Amino acid sequence: MYEAQTRGILVRVKPAYIEDRSTPDEGYFFWAYTVDIVNESLEPVQLLSRHWRITDAGGRTEEVRGPGVVGQTPLIGPGESFTYTSGCPLKTPSGIMSGTYQVTTQHGPAFSVKIPAFSLDSPYAIRSLN
């Protein structure tokens, strides 16, 4: 599990390689990742948008931006959480994802919440020690 906290908003991510949705012989590797956004602050926050940086093992980076997550812009009250699962395909057997969410409160401007960098590793990834 990977974690990051910004201004009382805790983001936890748990990735998992999905063998039955992958076709390694064709260069297609698929991961699901579950994100838990926990509001440990004293006021409600609303998730407005997301920005992902997805980098595969060949160093190719894709940026994904859009409103909300999985079609939602949840309002998360103090002490509450919002959990969702999404997926990411790559053409390589490993990669890394990181990003930010834009959230807003009733009493302030929007701000960025860090999504921790997390590793996408499959059984087909070549391991090396540095």
- Any idea what the CATH number is for the domain that residue 112 is in? 2.60.40.1470
In a domain, 130, yes or no: no
Tell me what percent of the residues of the chain surpass a pLDDT of 70.
97
In a domain, 126, yes or no: no
Cα 20 vs. chain centroid, distance in angstroms?
A: 21
Q: How many domains is the chain partitioned into structurally? A: 1
| 124 CB-near residues (< 8 Å, 6+ apart) | 24, 29, 93
Q: How many C-beta neighbours within 10 Å does residue 29 have?
A: 28
Per-residue pLDDT for 129 more than 70? no
Residue 72 lies in domain: 2-118
In a domain, 128, yes or no: no
Closest alpha carbon to 84 in 69, 94, 73, 97: 69
Q: How confident is the model at residue 130 (pLDDT cuts 50, 70, 90)?
A: low
For 6-54, the pLDDT digits (tens) are: 999 999 999 999 999 999 999 999 999 999 999 999 999 999 999 999 9
Q: How confident is the model at residue 128 (pLDDT cuts 50, 70, 90)?
A: low
Residues belonging to the chain: 130
In a domain, 123, yes or no: no
CA–CA separation, 103 and 82 (whole Å): 13
In a domain, 89, yes or no: yes
pLDDT at 108: 82
Average pLDDT, the chain: 95
In a domain, 125, yes or no: no
In a domain, 57, yes or no: yes
Query: Nearest-5° angle of CA 75, CA 81, CA 82?
Result: 65
- Mean pLDDT of all residues in 63-73: 96
In a domain, 62, yes or no: yes
CA–CA separation, 80 and 75 (whole Å): 9
